[in-house]
């Protein structure tokens, strides 16, 4: 039996009819065409499908869509709402050379955002811990860690200026 | 890797959940975070016709700490919430550490401590320390409420003492005795993205330098987390010297019942039980010593 | 050394923004109207005869549009080397027999994935199970089960190299040792599972979007297996989520998508699950290598005799090339006055092994380097001193094999020793004391020459179209799979034409538009080969405009012209200039409006049969070993390497850092756990590749060389760096524990067992 759910994705309200066996990943990619959310393993080990659900980084491949009823979902497509001006995390990923094949990138950025929202000044070890659920085969993580560290710095500088 | 079809229910109360379990038959499955269950379903290991999620039961995710009653962790409290809770970090540091050692960030944001227990994997991170700390499982079922010490809860891999239609609503962990220390170590033979090859947790109470009480549990070395009774005897009533710790480790290794699987060989596990037992005993003892009033 | 404006500078990748925002389209992101979803039925048995397949129930399931087995296909065998038809041993779907667990038996296309999945379970296959072999020894034993009728010995390919007088070499040696090494299979573990979408065009052509590193190879092999002409197939490579050698052959799902799209008239998509990738995916060759080397007392090498067996799995895949390359790499790094190699590629009932980053070199050089470390210890010579004594240098020739034009090996050794305080640490850490450092080195090819000679194609080609608005459009078959070659060739073109990055538009890897041939991304060939083709095309553009500009400024014929900063001018007289766009307009006007287009190509000459250029490098690992648990922690890596001119510094660093992750996993944590022919660890939970917490810090130095055969002096920097990590860690572990690993991977248990008996 299908369930009609309403959820908020990247600030936009959606009402979708889903089968209980559909994962959030399937609904985001197949029904809402948010293909920036990747599927790397389907078992919650690689992190390529990471999205924020009510502010928490979760694996969309291990989340049932029916359980996203009433939730706020943020995907990579919602990171930079204007489309033109990128999020600081995205800018740093680009500038530091943290992107190679790009398949892990969206998930890495979402994990980075989850970390920086909780901990604006993480140490290198804290960054690495926060990425422990995101695998990358291209970069060896070095430039990803560097990008997140630099993004944290810039976000802190910006919030100081705003105060 | 797609999920098989099932009916989904999200009851709003525990009694509604119990009724659903009774009416949907023995193949219906209860889920909290769902991370373990959905994985098993994706790999075709189980095909439940019906899932009953507990996440919509209000208040079931509560974490409460009370000076006298101790800690209560609700069935849907997330692993990440347990790992970061200020009272748990302060009064139950090893409970927080075990929650934090479980899987990865995303899974900790979805999965629960109680779910990790109910899954009854012998390699799970959370059971050993809770068993060592005399945690009690809070159960509700058709016959009403009951409580069961956690060390009587596990019956085999994936098998618990729950009766049909019973639900674990929470876990109560008594306060740590004065002059006590706890520790948990786990090892994975390969890499950090992991499921443990072996783990050991202990709670140890000192009187002066003498170990008055000790509870040691070993994971991933038998069908359920095992209690190291002979190792405990080796320590109880004595001062924890290097020699005693080593002897206790050897006893624990003797008592363990490891198998060879993907994650390690039986021989390696046996040897590591000795090493980890020694390490957790020393660490817990150190913690107990430093917690004693000068 | 030349001065560059764009080459060697920090230039962000041209696809970084699309990837950072999630707008980059990978194959599985493609959704076409009416698209069907495909799934593959795989063999549950390692070796069996197919007696009967009944697809009627599956075909009758509502929503199923097409079910095929090998019998429905043209039954044409394929393999990567059409030049050697006897090495082609694979059908897209099994005919008569299955040879490994996961071998493809049938395919279904349905309106959705759930229906396709259900249909698979309705296909009935009756098998007669046959005896199977899972290792080389059993496969080559007398009376062993035969996998392929054409090959009763199960040895599908062999390769010999010999030069110098080996008997004399060993007779004259003061010290001779022989060691046997075994190395294991590992997974490419690219993050993007393989995916393909096919659609039939109006004129009967098939368009295939596919996650591949070799669009041209896919095009020609798909055409042959479909019994069509090459240009009846159009292959487009969308963004690809990594390959590492695992996406460079025609694969079953590519064939099935195309074949079923043709049959149904509807687009068909196949995407593998991670479980399928691990269960049945290609992998690095397990090998057994026996190496005998001779030295003089002073450490001078006299000769080497290397014999290897490759455990190839059920089909050749890229195994013949790996066999060939193992032999070549065995002769690299050091000056062997005499050398003999004999390699055999053996069939077993396991998933086929194939190309993987380093392509035979990680295995071959693990043996070379570990043996070098053992010899250094026994001869009482410092491992770096022993290497310096024997190191290859610029100008060295390996008879019939290779000519080394530039070689920064000695400089790499000296540099890395200085970076890590080699001498102090070697002396400070006592053997067996829990801490240690060790060295491993590498050399790698910049694209292969072998296997492509005797064809009518260049090794690489490029087309440049120049426009009067000051932009140029580059068309190339080079396949960017994440390594960043689109950015690198754009930099080379911008440099050569004196333009900015934003003046260059690129279309790459669409076989209907980009110049024919080019073997794609493997063998670390693109920077050198495609870079040279791009330069060739750019120079032809310049030739066409320089004449016009010269006439315009009424220059003396001896004047040379230059393109720089978007302008064209006589050398040394930038005040007399016009913009690049004006020059293009003038050239077109002078030729009655003919569009200004040039084609460039690259075909190596006089470089031996291996490669136009070699990279070199040395790496040191420092480790700490927990002597009670046997767990190894790598504390730091230092690397000094020679890749010629660095075109894009961050891309080169990224290759190194990624290579270390792969090398670390290969050495310590990654392996396929097999029960007979069945792969047991089919998830990332149990296939343990290093995560961010496992990675140690790393320091790097580039050794400055200018490779005359390379574009602007560049050579490879992709695969070679994946080679030295295993021998470096193994040597450091030996220093820390006394355990000498000749049998990868290094596990805690092996360390404990070995140190107990020391």
Render pLDDT for B229-257 as a digit per residue (tens, 0 to 9).
999 999 999 999 999 999 999 999 999 99
C101-125 pLDDT tens trace: 999 999 999 999 999 999 999 999 9
Residues of C in contact with B5 (CB under 8 A): 114
| CATH code of domain C283-449+608-756 | 3.30.365.10
Distances (CA, A) of B226 to A115, B199, C34, C583: 36, 10, 56, 82
How far is residue A75's CA from residue A9's CA, in Å, rounded to a whole number?
7
Examine the fold and report which residue of A26, A57, A78 is the final residue of a domain before the chain moves on. Answer: A78
Q: pLDDT value at position C555?
A: 87
Average pLDDT, chain B: 94
Distance from A161 to chain C by nearest Cα, in Å? 26
Examine the fold and report which residue of A78, A105, A138 is the final residue of a domain before the chain moves on. Answer: A78
- Give the CATH number for residue A122: 1.10.150.120
Pair (A94, A40) in one structural domain: no
ipTM over 0.95: yes
- Please indicate, yes or no, if residue A64 is contained in any of the structural domains: yes
Contact C310, C171 (CB under 8 A): no
- Give the CATH number for residue A10: 3.10.20.30
Query: B180-291 adopts what CATH topology?
Result: Enolase-like; domain 1 (3.30.390)
Examine the fold and report which residue of A78, A112, A138 is the final residue of a domain before the chain moves on. Answer: A78
* 3-state class (DSSP) for residue B18: helix
pLDDT of residue C758 exceeding 80, the answer is no
Say which residues have a Cβ less than 8 Å from residue C72's Cβ, sequence separation at least 6.
none
pLDDT of residue B190 exceeding 70, the answer is no
* 3-state class (DSSP) for residue B74: strand
CATH architecture of structural domain B7-52+61-175? 2-Layer Sandwich (3.30)
Which chains form contacts with chain A, at 3 or more CB pairs under 8 Å? B, C
Check A64 against B8: CB less than 8 A apart. Answer: yes
Q: pLDDT value at position B192?
A: 59
C37-73 pLDDT tens trace: 999 999 999 999 999 999 999 999 999 999 999 999 9
C441-464 pLDDT tens trace: 999 999 988 766 567 889 999 999
* 3-state class (DSSP) for residue A5: strand
Confidence label for B196 from pLDDT (cuts 50, 70 and 90): confident
Distance from C689 to chain B by nearest Cα, in Å? 7
- Please indicate, yes or no, if residue A120 is contained in any of the structural domains: yes
Pair (A31, A95) in one structural domain: no
Pair (A105, A154) in one structural domain: yes
Domain with CATH 3.30.465.10 in chain B: 7-52+61-175
Q: pLDDT value at position B49?
A: 96
Q: Of C275, C347, C653, nearest to A46 (Cα)?
A: C275
Query: Which residues 636-665 of chain C have a CB within 8 Å of chain A?
Result: 650-651, 653-654, 656-662
A→B contacts (Cβ < 8 Å), by residue, are: 1, 3, 19-23, 42-45, 47, 50, 53, 56-59, 62-64, 66-67, 111, 114, 129-133, 135
Pair (A100, A130) in one structural domain: yes
- The minimal CB distance from A59 to the residues B43, B55, B106 is found for B106
Q: Is it true that C16-22+454-602 and C283-449+608-756 share their CATH fold?
A: yes
- The minimal CB distance from B272 to the residues C629, C688, C690 is found for C629
Q: pLDDT value at position C385?
A: 98
- B251-265, B268-282, C51-65, C737-751: range with lowest mean pLDDT: B251-265
Confidence label for C436 from pLDDT (cuts 50, 70 and 90): very high
Beta-sheet pairing, C48-54 with C97-98: antiparallel
* Residue environment code for C240-261, b if the CB has 16+ CB neighbours within 10 A, otherwise e: bbbbbbbbbbbbbbbbbbbbbb
Contact C560, C553 (CB under 8 A): no
Residue A39: give the domain boundaries: 3-78
Contact C314, C147 (CB under 8 A): yes
Pair (A74, A122) in one structural domain: no
Q: pLDDT value at position C203?
A: 87
Q: What percentage of chain A exceeds 90 in pLDDT?
A: 93
Could you state, in order of their start, the residue ranges of all structural domains in chain C?
A: 16-22+454-602, 31-130+191-242+247-280, 283-449+608-756
Pair (A65, A16) in one structural domain: yes
Pair (A28, A53) in one structural domain: yes
Distance from A162 to chain C by nearest Cα, in Å? 26
- Please indicate, yes or no, if residue A46 is contained in any of the structural domains: yes
* 3-state class (DSSP) for residue B147: strand
Distances (CA, A) of C53 to C74, C94, C202, C253, C392: 17, 11, 33, 19, 58
Beta-sheet pairing, C97-98 with C175-183: unpaired
Pair (A53, A95) in one structural domain: no
Domain with CATH 3.30.390.50 in chain B: 180-291
- As to burial, measured by CB atoms within 10 angstroms (0-12 exposed, 13-18 middle, 19+ buried), residue B160 is buried
How far is residue C538's CA from residue C466's CA, in Å, rounded to a whole number?
9
Mutation site for B-interface testing, chosen from A5, A30, A62 by largest number of B Cβ within 10 Å: A62
Which of 3.40.50.720, 1.20.81.30, 3.30.70.20, 3.30.365.10 would CATH assign to domain C16-22+454-602?
3.30.365.10
Residues of B in contact with C113 (CB under 8 A): 2
Chain B: residue whose CA lies nearest to C277: B1
pLDDT of residue C484 exceeding 70, the answer is yes
Q: pLDDT value at position C303?
A: 98
Q: pLDDT value at position B263?
A: 84
Distance from A45 to chain B by nearest Cα, in Å? 8
Q: What percentage of chain C exceeds 70 in pLDDT?
A: 99
pLDDT of residue B188 exceeding 90, the answer is no
How far is residue C670's CA from residue B212's CA, in Å, rounded to a whole number?
44
Distance from C669 to chain B by nearest Cα, in Å? 5
CATH architecture of structural domain C31-130+191-242+247-280? Alpha-Beta Complex (3.90)
Judge whether B80 is closer than 8 Å to chain A, CB to CB.
Answer: yes
Mutation site for B-interface testing, chosen from A58, A116, A119, A137 by largest number of B Cβ within 10 Å: A58
Which pairs from C142-149 meet CB under 8 Å and 24+ separation? C145/C47, C145/C349, C147/C47, C147/C99, C147/C314, C147/C347, C147/C348, C147/C349, C148/C89, C148/C99, C148/C347
């Amino acid at each position: 039996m299908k369930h009609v759910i309403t959820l908020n994705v990247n600030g936009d309200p959606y009402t979708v009819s889903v089968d209980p066996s559909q994962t959030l990943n399937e609904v985001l990619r197949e029904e809402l065409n948010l293909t920036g959310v990747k599927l790397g393993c389907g078992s919650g080990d690689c992190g390529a499908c990471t999205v924020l659900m009510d502010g928490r980084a979760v694996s969309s491949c291990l989340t049932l869509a029916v359980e996203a009823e009433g939730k706020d979902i943020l995907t990579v497509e919602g990171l930079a709402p204007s489309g033109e001006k990128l999020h600081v995390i995205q800018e740093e990923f680009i500038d530091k050379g943290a992107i190679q094949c790009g398949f892990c990138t969206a998930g890495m950025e979402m994990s980075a955002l989850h970390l920086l929202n909780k901990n604006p000044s993480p140490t290198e070890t804290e960054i690495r811990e926060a990425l422990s659920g995101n695998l990358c085969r291209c970069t060896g993580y070095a430039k990803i860690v560097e990008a997140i560290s630099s993004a944290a710095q810039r976000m802190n500088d910006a919030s100081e200026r705003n105060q | 890797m797609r999920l098989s079809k099932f009916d989904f229910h999200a009851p709003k109360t525990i009694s509604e959940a119990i009724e659903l379990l009774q009416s949907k038959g023995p193949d219906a499955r209860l889920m909290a975070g769902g991370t373990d269950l959905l994985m098993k379903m994706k790999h075709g290991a189980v095909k439940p016709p019906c899932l009953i999620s507990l996440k919509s039961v209000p208040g079931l995710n509560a974490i409460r700490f009370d000076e006298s009653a101790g800690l209560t962790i609700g069935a849907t409290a997330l692993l990440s919430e347990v790992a970061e809770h200020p009272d748990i970090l302060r009064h139950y540091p090893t409970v927080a550490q075990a929650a934090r050692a479980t899987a990865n960030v995303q899974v900790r944001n979805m999965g629960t401590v109680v779910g990790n227990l109910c899954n009854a994997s012998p390699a799970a991170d959370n059971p050993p320390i809770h068993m060592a700390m005399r945690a009690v499982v809070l159960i509700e079922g058709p016959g009403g409420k009951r409580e069961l010490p956690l060390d009587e809860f596990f019956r085999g891999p994936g098998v618990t003492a729950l009766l049909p239609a019973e639900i674990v609503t929470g876990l109560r962990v008594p306060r740590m005795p004065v002059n006590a220390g706890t520790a948990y170590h786990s090892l994975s033979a390969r890499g950090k993205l992991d499921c443990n090859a072996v783990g050991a947790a202990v709670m140890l109470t000192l009187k002066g330098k003498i170990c008055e009480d000790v509870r040691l549990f070993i994971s991933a070395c038998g069908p359920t987390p095992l209690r190291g009774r002979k190792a405990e005897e080796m320590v109880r009533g004595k001062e924890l010297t290097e020699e005693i710790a080593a002897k206790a480790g050897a006893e624990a290794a003797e008592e363990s019942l490891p198998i060879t699987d993907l994650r390690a060989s039986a021989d390696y596990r046996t040897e590591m039980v000795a090493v980890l037992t020694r390490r957790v005993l020393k660490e817990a003892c150190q913690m107990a010593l430093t917690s004693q009033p000068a | 050394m030349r001065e560059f404006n764009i080459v060697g500078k920090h230039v962000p990748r041209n696809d970084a923004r699309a990837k950072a925002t999630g707008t980059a389209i990978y194959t599985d992101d493609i959704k076409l109207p009416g698209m069907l979803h495909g799934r593959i039925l795989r063999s549950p048995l390692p070796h069996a005869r197919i007696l009967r397949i009944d697809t009627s129930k599956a075909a009758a399931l509502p929503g199923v549009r097409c079910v095929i087995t090998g019998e429905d296909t043209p039954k044409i065998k394929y393999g990567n080397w059409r030049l050697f038809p006897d090495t082609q041993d694979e059908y897209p779907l099994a005919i008569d027999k299955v040879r490994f667990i996961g071998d493809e038996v049938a395919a279904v296309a349905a309106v959705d994935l759930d229906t396709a999945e259900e249909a698979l379970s309705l296909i009935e296959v009756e098998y007669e199970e046959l005896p199977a072999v899972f290792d080389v020894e059993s496969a080559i034993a007398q009376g062993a089960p035969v996998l392929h009728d054409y090959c009763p010995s199960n040895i599908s390919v062999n390769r010999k190299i010999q030069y110098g007088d080996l008997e004399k070499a060993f007779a004259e040696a003061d010290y001779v040792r022989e060691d046997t090494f075994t190395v294991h299979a590992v997974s490419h573990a690219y993050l993007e599972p393989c995916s393909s979408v096919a659609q039939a065009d109006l004129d009967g052509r098939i368009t295939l979007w596919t996650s591949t590193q070799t669009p041209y190879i896919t095009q020609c092999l798909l055409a042959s297996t479909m019994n069509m002409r090459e240009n009846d197939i159009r292959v487009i490579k969308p963004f690809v989520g990594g390959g590492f050698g695992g996406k460079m052959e025609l694969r079953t799902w590519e064939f099935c998508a195309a074949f079923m799209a043709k049959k149904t008239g509807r687009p068909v998509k196949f995407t593998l699950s991670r479980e399928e990738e691990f269960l049945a995916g290609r992998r690095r060759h397990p090998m057994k290598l026996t190496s005998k080397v001779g030295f003089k007392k002073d450490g001078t090498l006299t000769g080497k005799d290397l014999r290897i067996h490759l455990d190839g799995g059920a089909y050749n895949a890229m195994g013949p090339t790996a066999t060939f390359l193992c032999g070549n790499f065995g002769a690299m790094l050091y000056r062997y006055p005499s050398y003999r190699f004999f390699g055999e590629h053996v069939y077993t009932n396991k998933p086929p092994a194939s190309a993987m980053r380093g392509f035979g070199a990680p295995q071959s050089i693990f043996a070379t380097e570990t043996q070098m470390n053992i010899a250094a210890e026994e001869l009482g010579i410092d491992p770096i001193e022993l290497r310096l004594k024997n190191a290859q240098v610029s100008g060295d020739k390996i008879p019939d094999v290779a000519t080394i034009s530039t070689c920064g090996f000695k400089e790499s050794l000296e540099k890395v020793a200085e970076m890590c305080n080699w001498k102090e640490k070697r002396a400070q850490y006592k053997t067996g004391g829990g801490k240690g450092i060790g060295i491993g080195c590498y050399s790698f090819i910049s694209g292969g020459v072998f296997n492509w000679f005797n064809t009518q194609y260049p090794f690489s080609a490029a087309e440049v179209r120049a426009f009067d608005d000051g932009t140029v459009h580059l068309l190339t078959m080079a396949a960017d799979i994440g390594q960043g070659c689109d950015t690198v060739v754009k930099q080379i073109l911008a440099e050569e034409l004196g333009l900015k990055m934003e003046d260059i538009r690129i279309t790459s890897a669409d076989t209907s538009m980009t110049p024919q041939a080019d073997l794609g991304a493997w063998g670390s060939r693109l920077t050198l080969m495609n870079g040279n083709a791009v330069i060739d095309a750019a120079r032809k553009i310049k030739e066409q405009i320089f004449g016009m500009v010269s006439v315009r400024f009424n220059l003396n014929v001896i004047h040379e012209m230059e393109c720089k900063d978007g302008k064209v001018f006589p050398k040394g007289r930038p005040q007399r200039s016009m913009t690049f766009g004006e020059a293009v307009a003038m050239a077109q006007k002078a030729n009655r409006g003919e569009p200004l287009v040039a084609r460039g190509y690259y075909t190596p000459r006089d470089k031996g049969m291996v490669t136009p250029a070699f990279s070199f490098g040395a790496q040191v690992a420092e480790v700490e070993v927990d002597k009670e648990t046997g767990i190894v922690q790598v504390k730091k890596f230092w690397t000094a390497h020679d890749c010629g001119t660095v075109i894009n510094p961050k891309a080169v660093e990224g290759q190194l850092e990624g290579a270390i992750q792969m090398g670390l996993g290969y050495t310590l944590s990654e392996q396929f756990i097999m029960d007979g022919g069945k792969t047991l660890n089919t998830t990332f939970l149990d296939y343990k590749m290093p995560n961010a917490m496992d990675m140690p810090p790393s320091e790097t130095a580039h050794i400055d060389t200018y490779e005359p055969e390379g574009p602007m002096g560049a050579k490879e920097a992709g695969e070679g760096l994946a080679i030295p990590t295993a021998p470096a860690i193994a040597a450091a572990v030996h220093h820390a524990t006394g355990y000498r690993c000749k049998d990868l991977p290094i596990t805690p248990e092996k360390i404990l067992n070995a140190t107990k008996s020391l």
